Amino acid sequence: MADSIPLRYGINPHQQPASAAAIGEWPFEVLNGQPGYINLLDAMSAWNLVRELRETLGQPAGASYKHVSPAGAAIGLPLSERLARAYEVEQLDLSPVATAYVRARGGDLVSAYGDFAAVSDTVDASLARFLRREVSDGIIAPGYEPEALDILAKKKGGRYLVLQADPTQELPAVETRDHYGIRLEQPVDRKPVDESSFKNAVTELTGFPEEVRRDLLVATIALRYTQSNSVCLAADGQVIGLGAGQQSRIHCSRLACGKADRWMLQQHDRVLGLEFDPSLKRPDRFAGREQFIAWQELSQPERDRLQSQVTNWSGPLTDNERREGISAFRTVLSHDAFMPFRDNVDRAQASAVTHILQPGGSIADEDTIAACNEYGIAMTMTGQRLFRH
């Protein structure tokens, strides 16, 4: 590749011309399409996220990125029958790498619309066929099978962005950022997030079973690549709720838990049983199910429109149905910085959270610990903050 490449435009279309230059060797090769400014920000963050998940957990990993934060991230565990129905992939033959991305995208099906995809392993035809039907701007991966590349190169009329990452290239030791006439410099954040994170349990319950540790690692690694403040819930090897970029930590928790609630309730019998007007496209069905779950938050025009789209309408979920649906799950939660007040725990327990990981260090740590003990939640403090701006 050349020393620099032209971009379609900067962050906004009026910011032209725009370009990208490599600090050393290019960490990727453009196989198809022309990148934009935000595409590259998403691509590089997403690639490093899936690479770290792969290195840490030893399984294919996927990420779905929007506006420099993950809409979802996951490892390639098999899908349950209910989850496959919720994601509308029950008729597809998915490879492990395809499953990793399907899970990542499924963590927030509405936010993932128009995402940038990333996977840790070679893209095969199974994943390419899935991406062909989805609204997505591009993908970054360490390699592509010939059939997969042929499929992707035809997407969006030949404009779909395909980047091939160099898996042998290490991150530079130092990163810089120019901002309104000043240059900031710092070491790249590579402090490991690993099993040592569970050695400092501070609650009466101290057990962190293998699946819990796995899910907390998925959530915490995702936070490293998320705009702060951020809170992440995970279950079944994938992110299920991420609250990013809020000034107040409780608002991060409410966002993350609200998304996690919707992920859990997507698998409720009544939600899976919704029948939509046949003219609705898949993204509209996903949005319709989310609106059905979030009925209490909808305006009257939104309620009227949803009712007109559902052909077997029988009323929204009751409070009892919501509680029972959520109580069938067990989730974990990770914070990128300390929890300043117990209200974060109060909100978390309502979303089936059983284990929490956070750096600790607040003057209110004892209140937070007491809240966890009250709800029977195990919590560990790592001392490692994961801010990203």
Question: Considering 152, 169, 186, which residue would you say is the last residue of a domain?
Answer: 169
C-alpha 313/C-alpha 276 separation (Å) is 9
Q: What is the pLDDT of residues 334-369, one digit of tens each?
A: 999 998 999 999 999 999 999 999 999 999 999 999
C-alpha 339/C-alpha 210 separation (Å) is 24
Average pLDDT value for residue range 156-164: 96
Question: Considering 125, 154, 169, which residue would you say is the last residue of a domain?
Answer: 169
Indicate which residue of 39, 229, 259, 335 is catalytic. 229
Tell whether the model's pLDDT for residue 219 goes beyond 80.
yes
Residues 198 and 344 in one domain: yes
* Res 43: pLDDT: 97
Residues 205 and 293 in one domain: no
3-state secondary structure of 299: coil
- Which two structure tokens, joined as six digits, stand for 340? 């300043």
Residues 260 and 276 in one domain: no
Average pLDDT value for residue range 170-187: 90
Q: Is residue 248 domain-resident? A: yes
Q: Is residue 387 domain-resident? A: no
How many domains does the chain fold into? Answer: 3
* Res 137: pLDDT: 96
Q: Is residue 211 domain-resident? A: yes
How many CA atoms does the CB half-sphere of 379 hold within 13 Å?
32
Q: What percentage of the chain's residues is helix, strand, coil (to nearest 5)?
A: 40, 20, 40
CATH of the domain at 351: 3.40.140.20
Tell whether the model's pLDDT for residue 25 goes beyond 90.
no
Of residues 169, 159, 120, the one with CA closest to residue 31? 159
Residue range of the domain that includes 63: 4-169
Residues 183 and 39 in one domain: no
Q: Which amino acid is at 35?
A: P
Q: Is residue 386 domain-resident? A: no
Indicate which residue of 39, 66, 344, 355 is catalytic. 66
Say if CB 339 and CB 350 are below 8 A apart. Answer: no
Q: Which residues of 370-386 are buried (b: 16+ CB within 10 A; e: fewer)?
A: ebbbeeebbbbbbebbb
Residues 188 and 308 in one domain: no
Say if CB 19 and CB 1 are below 8 A apart. Answer: no
Alpha helices for the chain (secondary structure H):
37-57, 81-86, 96-106, 125-133, 146-153, 210-224, 249-265, 269-272, 282-293, 300-309, 319-327, 343-349, 365-375
- Which two structure tokens, joined as six digits, stand for 325? 């649906």
Residues 286 and 306 in one domain: yes
CA 84 to chain centre: 18
Cis geometry, peptide bond prior to residue 278 (ω within 30 degrees of 0): no
Q: Is residue 349 domain-resident? A: yes
Tell whether the model's pLDDT for residue 2 goes beyond 90.
no
Q: pLDDT-derived band of residue 295, with 50, 70 and 90 as boundaries?
A: very high
Residues 92 and 132 in one domain: yes
Indicate which residue of 67, 200, 251, 373 is catalytic. 67
* Res 24: pLDDT: 83
Residues 208 and 334 in one domain: yes
DSSP 217: H
Q: Angle of helix 125-133 relative to helix 146-153, nearest 10 degrees?
A: 10
Question: Considering 111, 144, 169, which residue would you say is the last residue of a domain?
Answer: 169
Catalytic annotation on 281? no
Residues 246 and 277 in one domain: no
171 compared with 356, residue with greater pLDDT: 356
Residues 259 and 283 in one domain: no
Q: What is the pLDDT of residues 85-96, one digit of tens each?
A: 999 999 999 999
Containing 13, the helix (H) or strand (E) segment is none
Tell whether the model's pLDDT for residue 1 goes beyond 80.
no
**CB-count burial class (<10 Å; 0-12, 13-18, 19+) for 292:** buried
Q: Is residue 388 domain-resident? A: no
pTM to 2 decimals? 0.95
Catalytic annotation on 66? yes
Residues 121 and 250 in one domain: no
Average pLDDT value for residue range 251-275: 97
Residues 109 and 131 in one domain: yes
Q: Is residue 389 domain-resident? A: no
3-state secondary structure of 228: coil
Q: Is residue 60 domain-resident? A: yes
Say if CB 40 and CB 69 are below 8 A apart. Answer: no
